[in-house]
Chain A
Amino acid sequence: MSEAHSISPRTARLIGRVSAIILLLLALAYGLGGSVIEYAFASDPLGPRVFPIALAVVLGGLGILYFLSPGTAEGFPHGALLARVLAIPALLAISVLLFEPLGFAVSIFTLTLGTALIFGAPPVKALIGAVGHAVLWWFVFGYVLEVYLPAGTVFGG
């Protein structure tokens, strides 16, 4: 949780400037979006548009300050590590797609097995861990706490 990578001030500045530009574009889009909100009636003097527009202005101002003094940044990982880090959301997306059709157990098994492998677990241990996770969480949430979980539409759930 402390600073992980020490990156050069130049990279930090670049990351800061790019982020600032993205935030300025966001402020612009959000402000324009806010100024065209349609409403039939307004029961107060401000209406639904003013607050978003004001936020866009404030974000714009802060974005300019940020651009001028970008400060420090943590920086992005490189190469293989970056690929592994990005594999987490990708894997999560796949598991979520499986969630309703194939059910909780299959989806959780995929997610936990994949994550364990991404984190560098030995395959056999990862497999045992994934079976354990699937059984444990199904038991805890499905039986003990009775939270609704999909059984999987292909299994008639």
Chain B
Amino acid sequence: MNFMTEAMAQAAFWIVVGLTLAGAVIAVFPRNIVYNVLGLVLALTGVAGLYVFLGSMFIGLMQLLIYVGAICVAIVFAIMLSRPLHLEVPQRKLPKVLLAAMASCLFAIALIGVSLRTAWKPAAERGTDWSVATIGELLLTRYDLVFEVISLVLLVAILGAIVTAGFSRRLTS
């Protein structure tokens, strides 16, 4: 019985990993922008599943709420507001595509090499307090300055978005 649940958890893990990577591939390669957004939704949902496997249900739900619920919907709105967006852009020249592929492959291989060759050592004593209450308490005590600054950044970003999008409409029409 125990073996069965173990095998099922393993299968679920690899399915989630496959969904994440497939979503990332769909988000980058097709030339139709709507497919890209749907691939992004798939990849972000897979990442939320990975967070659950990493032991944090809370961050997984936050990922679904913020990324899939807010950012992806905002991107879909932007696509709908700029209509001829899904028209084809002329193809990039082949040498540029090759250079980009080589650069990113090199970067990913270097990252994987570093992470495999380093001997990671866990901290000497590790806490076991995974509760959301601790996160909230730390947010309001030790990290309160960062918390406030991020609130300010969000406020400025929202005002800036309204001003940028609104003023340009007034100027053109």
Q: Do A and B bind each other?
A: no
